[in-house]
Amino acid sequence: MGDEGLDRHCRVAKAAVLAETVMFSVVDHDRQFFPTSLGLPEPYAALGETPLTHSFCQYVVDRSGPLRISDASTDQLVADSLAQRDLGIATYVGVPVSDEDGNVLGALCAVGSTPRQWTDDEVEVLTDISHSIESELRLRNSRRALERRLAGEQLAQEYEHALNQLAQATNRSETIQGVSDELAHRVAPAIGAALTSIGIVDQDELHLTHGSDVTPEIAEAWRIAPVDADAPMNAAVTTGEIVHLEGPKEFADYPGFEKIARSLGLSSFRAIPFGDEGTGLSGALGIGWAEPMPATDVPPAIDRIVELARTTLARAWRFEVERDQARVLERVVLPTSLPDTGLYDVAGLYIAPEAGKRVGGDVYDVLVGADGSVGVLVADAVGHDLMATRAVARLRHAVGVLFMEGYGPGRIMTAVDAYVAASPSRRLVTCVCLHFAADGSSVTIANAGHPQPVLRSAAATRPIGPVGQPLLGRAATMYVEQTIELHPGDLVLAFTDGLIDRRDRSFLDSERWLVDFIEAQPDSDADAVASRLEAELLDAEAEDDLAFLIVSRPHPLEHRTCRWAGPAERVDLAERREEISEWFAVHEPDASIDTVLLVATELLTNARQASDPDSDVSIAVRRTDGEADATGVAAVEVTVTNLSPPFEADTEMPATESVRGRGLAIVDHLARSLDITLEDGLATVRAVVELEQ
């Protein structure tokens, strides 16, 4: 890392314990960084830090004492740590490194790629070296304190504070533009400059972000410039060299820039190029001063700022690429529409994190089995990256195949658990799988570490289904099922934790809020409830993506579709007309339905006559998706299905009755459109009929 004093301690420790890798880490609230290290793999050696998901040293800080791990894969404390996968750590020994007040800053550690037993002597040697590091740090702190006093303690403290704030601000930003904005607005005040600009190369253009001291007119005029434009930052990018203009006379080398610099009151300017080989990102940092600034007097902190700009912008670039890839994959993973689910109303919604925030890993799906049962999946992969989205894509496919093969929720979960564990990423996934009976009588649930679905029934509103079983991906669990009775009017909500993980209230308060919200719904219309829930979420600040599915079993008259199915010999035309009339009285009370009833009668009669007595015939009457079509006239769709050999329908009225002729010809004259489909031995006749108001 370029710190010879600390590097020396690492070399001594590496030789003393014969380790592959030695690091001195400082543990922060969300990361660990390495003032010095030997043998750390890329990209972490270049970045000089990892998130705490990759940290064993955090446990040394927690316990304020040594930590020995012979075999990380079997040690319960770190068995799931990403350090095993990404850093190749199989064994670890670490001792604390403290500041002069006794606060543990981090750890001096030795690691290896194969399991190993660490001896007491080795721990003692590392402890002695850690004390040497502590002494080195104390000496440095004393020297810095003396320098601050000599230069003016208050000024130096403010200076460091500003730089720390800059680092924290850029680390919080997750997009290139966000990091650029923070740098442009914070660098100049931090080092006593008058102006900061950030330029990022995009093909043959330099995209510029300026600090608040630049007027809007100049900022707009210099927002995008050709890479080879005549300006200091462009020259720094194209040559790869620092361009330093010590005084106003040197501005004359860049006539286009000179006029702008003078209008902004600049007397000196420095453009420093930066680039990241791993991402291909390149650009320049531009800093201007109101007074002449010799190159020898440039604050040394600028080097730190440039490195900060490089690392944070490269991190943001990687995040944006991964986020965009995940967004494309999300559109593939999530269903574009939900199927017709018979007795049930179904509505689903996915809400991605805010633009520029994290990548999501939530998914839902709805499937209809051959027997008319309905399968529901809601899942959430651990993590917020492209691998999480890929994990749920594989999961959705596997669950769908198993459901269509007739597996129940428990068997599906058990099989998918082994499948997820065998996948390359081994990304853990929370999942709930629900199986709604075709006759509407029950729902069977299996749950893998997922929030419980919520059932609203006449008796109560409550969480349902098993709890306490582990996430998918451990390949060692037999998942249990629980079956719950359903009744007309019941409603089930399945969701990911993003729905209740809110900044403005605790997890328990969110669970109570959700139960109260579902209980207060005035109906069982899945679409309506989903719309109300979405409206509730509009003002919430979503840290995470979220998905939810609502499945309801409305009372027959409340259902968006009026259905009947049974043997042809039980087709009672008078009863069917009465049911359709009752349904219309609820959904279209002002409409005249004589034509609809006539069409339904003709289609049912036609199907009954063409079917064997014990063959099934079904009819469905539903409102079209919109209130009206392009003509402004509302309509309904009447669909009749029955077993049938192939036939040809004639739209002309037959002279004499034929098995599939006269009724279809009548409907063709009454309906706006008539569509006949013959597939797999089934005849489906669909007629769209305009409503008369």
The DSSP secondary structure of 127-196, one letter per residue, reads HHHHHHHHHHHHHHHHHHHHHHHHH-HHHHHHHHHHHHHHHHHHHH--SHHHHHHHHHHHHHHHHT-SEE
Q: Give the CA angle between residues 102, 105, 109 to the nearest 5°.
A: 115
pLDDT averaged over every residue in the chain: 84
Predicted confidence (pLDDT) at residue 617 exceeds the cutoff of 90: no
Domain 162-323 falls in which CATH fold?
A: Beta-Lactamase (3.30.450)
| pLDDT range class, residue 627, cuts 50, 70, 90 | very low
* pLDDT confidence of residue 153: 52
The share of the chain scoring above pLDDT 70, in percent, equals 88
Q: Which of 42-46, 196-200, 215-219 is predicted with the least confidence, judged by mean pLDDT? A: 215-219
CB 552 within 8 A of CB 524: yes
237 conformational bin, left if phi > 0, alpha if psi -120 to 50, beta if neither: alpha
Supply the DSSP string of 440-501, one letter for each residue.
SSEEEEEEES-PPPEEE-SS-EEE-S--SPPPBTSS------EEEE--TTEEEEEE-GGGT-
- Bridge partner list, 350: 547
| pLDDT range class, residue 326, cuts 50, 70, 90 | low
* pLDDT confidence of residue 1: 47
Q: Which of 99-108, 121-130, 336-345 is predicted with the least confidence, judged by mean pLDDT? A: 336-345
Cα–Cα distance for residue pair 453/497, rounded to 1 Å: 11
CB 19 within 8 A of CB 111: yes
**Phi and psi of 507, rounded to 5°?**
-60, -45
Residue 506, C-beta contacts closer than 8 angstroms, at least 6 positions apart: none
662-679 pLDDT, tens per residue? 778 888 888 888 888 887
| pLDDT range class, residue 330, cuts 50, 70, 90 | low
CATH 3.30.450.40 domain range(s) in the chain? 4-151, 162-323
* pLDDT confidence of residue 628: 43
* pLDDT confidence of residue 647: 67
| pLDDT range class, residue 659, cuts 50, 70, 90 | very low
Q: Which of 85-89, 480-484, 549-553, 607-611 is predicted with the least confidence, judged by mean pLDDT? A: 607-611
Mean pLDDT of 114-134: 93
Cα–Cα distance for residue pair 659/674, rounded to 1 Å: 17
Predicted confidence (pLDDT) at residue 657 exceeds the cutoff of 50: no
Between residues 646 and 316, the one the model is more confident about: 316
Mean pLDDT of 350-370: 73
* pLDDT confidence of residue 77: 93
Domain 560-690, classified CATH 3.30.565.10, yes or no: yes
334-557: which CATH architecture?
4-Layer Sandwich (3.60)
* pLDDT confidence of residue 325: 60
Mean pLDDT of 589-603: 86
Domain 4-151 falls in which CATH fold?
A: Beta-Lactamase (3.30.450)
* pLDDT confidence of residue 541: 58
Cα–Cα distance for residue pair 392/362, rounded to 1 Å: 7
CATH 3.60.40.10 domain range(s) in the chain? 334-557
Mean pLDDT of 412-425: 86
Residue 529 has, within 13 A of its CA and on its CB side, a CA count of 29
Q: Which of 453-462, 645-654, 663-672 is predicted with the least confidence, judged by mean pLDDT? A: 645-654
148-177 pLDDT, tens per residue? 565 545 545 665 676 677 777 777 777 888
* pLDDT confidence of residue 554: 80
pTM of the model: 0.47
CATH 3.30.565.10 domain range(s) in the chain? 560-690
